[in-house]
Amino acid sequence: MFRPFRNLYQINYKFGDTLQMEIEWDCHTSTLALKTGAYQLSRLLKRRSSHILFLWKNEW
């Protein structure tokens, strides 16, 4: 059975020339930590010109 996300979620997006993503995920015994570079993802999202700062902190 799939359980909802627990732990701390911290996502920091800045479209343009800088993009940072940090995700912590714990489900049952699995732990996922994803840290991506800014330059690679910024090229993929280069078509976006707006700046978005999103901070999500949730504890279940």
Over residues 5-52, the pLDDT tens digits come to 444 445 555 545 555 555 555 555 555 555 554 445 555 555 554 444
What's the pLDDT at 60? 42
Give the SS3 label for residue 23: strand
Task: Give the Cβ contact number of residue 19 at 10 Å.
Answer: 21
Question: Is 36 domain-assigned?
Answer: yes
Question: Is 53 domain-assigned?
Answer: yes
What's the pLDDT at 9? 47
Tell me which residue range forms the domain holding 19.
6-60
Of 3, 42, 5, 2, the residue nearest 21 (C-alpha):
42
- Tell me how far apart the alpha carbons of residues 55 and 29 are, in angstroms, rounded to a whole number: 25
Question: Is 43 domain-assigned?
Answer: yes
Question: Is 34 domain-assigned?
Answer: yes
Looking at the structure of the chain, the number of domains it has is 1
Question: Is 1 domain-assigned?
Answer: no
pLDDT at 53 over 50: no
Cβ–Cβ < 8 Å for 15, 60: no
Question: Is 37 domain-assigned?
Answer: yes
Read off the pTM.
0.23
Question: Is 60 domain-assigned?
Answer: yes
What's the pLDDT at 14? 52
